[in-house]
Structure 1
Amino acid sequence: MIRELRENDRKAFISMVEAFFNSDAVQHSIPHENIVNTFDEVMSGSPYAKAYIIEKDGETAGYAQISLTFSNEAGGLVVWIEELYIRERFRGAGLGKGFLAFIRKEFQGKAKRFRLEITETNTSAECMYLRSGYEHLGYRQMVLEEAQQGNCSQPDSCEMF
């Protein structure tokens, strides 16, 4: 069963997010404060962030967090699957693939694109996404963290134009 996050999921959600951000599925961990802020943002009814609890046989098996954006390129609403985490003992039971089907149905007729990112080493998740119809994009991702604004890791190639 997949359901929206509830206030009484706080402890389980935070625990699973911490496990996710201390796994090989991501490049680095995040501050605990970020996790709490995300939970609070979802609970506030934000139009940009939603989270779901994935259950199996009455137990919390995992979670997913999505963000909603608008894209000219896609021609409308884009659902970003920010995080999809299944607890280890529930992996291989089709819960991740089940969530992907659920979210497509949930946004059927509304979303123009579903998007996600994975680390290069997360090959098992990559296989699941490919089997579910996702394709690789030719884009190289870039990010600007507010605390690091103006830094360039390759100064010789960072000329202003």
Structure 2
Amino acid sequence: MNVHYEIATPAHLSALLDLQEAFYAIDHYPFNHPKAEGVMRHFLQTPALGIIWVIKPAPEAEAIGYLAFTFCYSFEFGGKIAFLDEFYLKENFRGRGLGTQILSYALEQAKALGLQVLHLEAERHNQAGKALYHKFGFRDHDRHLMTKVINSEQEKEK
């Protein structure tokens, strides 16, 4: 099965929020729909922040997943880098080799965008995801990703 990729626009907002809510539910992350809508809308209207691809089995079909790059800059890695911040595929489409196909596409896009490095996070329990990422050359950087919440609204949601 081949998939179709569309660069997300505000017209995809509702579908993206449905997918994101399902993604967050996997690990019981809080999902505040009005807040998520505002964050997603801002992201989609601000191309300098990154890019989201909506994944579909065919151009006119319903979305089955999405892939989001968020951009930043690194002195260590020599320029523009990105986080593969979110990568979600509906459960009934997993296990068919689509993850491999989609990650190949993501790496092609990373090169086309002139990225030096692509980072990602994987949940410790996500063995299938980690195996896929290792297959594509992603490695544990032997560092800890550490987070400090700055916005008090974020802290309230944790």
TM-score per shorter chain, which class? 0.7 to 0.9
Report the equivalent of 2:115.
111
Q: Judging changes above 3 Å, is the alpha-carbon distance between structure 1 residues 38 and 100 closer, same or farther for their aligned structure 2 residues?
A: farther
Q: Identify the range of structure 1 (42-51 vs 85-94) with the bigger mean alpha-carbon deviation.
A: 42-51
* CA apart distance, 1:17: 0.2
Paired residues in the alignment total 147
* CA apart distance, 1:99: 2.2
* CA apart distance, 1:39: 2.1
* CA apart distance, 1:148: 8.5
- Name the aligned partner's letter for residue 29 of structure 2: H
Report the equivalent of 1:124.
128
Q: Identify the range of structure 1 (140-149 vs 62-71) with the bigger mean alpha-carbon deviation.
A: 140-149
Aligned counterparts of 1:82 and 1:30: Cα–Cα separation in 2: 16
- Name the aligned partner's letter for residue 124 of structure 1: A
The structure whose Rg is larger is 1
Aligned counterparts of 2:136 and 2:97: Cα–Cα separation in 1: 11
Report the equivalent of 1:49.
50
Q: Secondary structure at the match of 2:144?
A: coil
Aligned counterparts of 1:75 and 1:63: Cα–Cα separation in 2: 28
Aligned counterparts of 1:123 and 1:23: Cα–Cα separation in 2: 14
* CA apart distance, 1:65: 1.4
Structure 1: segments with no counterpart, 5+ residues: 150-161
Report the equivalent of 2:19.
16
Aligned counterparts of 2:102 and 2:6: Cα–Cα separation in 1: 10
Please say if residues 54 and 95 of structure 1, whose CA atoms lie closer than 8 Å, have aligned partners that are also in contact: no
Q: Secondary structure at the match of 2:26?
A: coil
Report the equivalent of 1:83.
86
Q: Judging changes above 3 Å, is the alpha-carbon distance between structure 1 residues 103 and 31 closer, same or farther for their aligned structure 2 residues?
A: same
1:118-141: CA deviation from partner (whole Å, max 9, x where unpaired): 110111111111111111111111
Aligned counterparts of 2:100 and 2:80: Cα–Cα separation in 1: 22
Question: What is the root-mean-square deviation in Å for CA atoms of aligned residues?
Answer: 2.0
Q: Judging changes above 3 Å, is the alpha-carbon distance between structure 1 residues 130 and 49 closer, same or farther for their aligned structure 2 residues?
A: same
Q: Secondary structure at the match of 1:119?
A: coil
- Name the aligned partner's letter for residue 35 of structure 1: A
Aligned counterparts of 1:33 and 1:50: Cα–Cα separation in 2: 21
- Name the aligned partner's letter for residue 133 of structure 1: G
TM value normalised by structure 2:
0.83
- Name the aligned partner's letter for residue 53 of structure 1: V
* CA apart distance, 1:7: 2.7
1:74-131: CA deviation from partner (whole Å, max 9, x where unpaired): 1111121000000011111222222221122123161110100011011111111111
Please say if residues 8 and 52 of structure 2, whose CA atoms lie closer than 8 Å, have aligned partners that are also in contact: yes
Q: Secondary structure at the match of 2:142?
A: coil
Structure 2: segments with no counterpart, 5+ residues: none
Aligned counterparts of 2:122 and 2:66: Cα–Cα separation in 1: 16
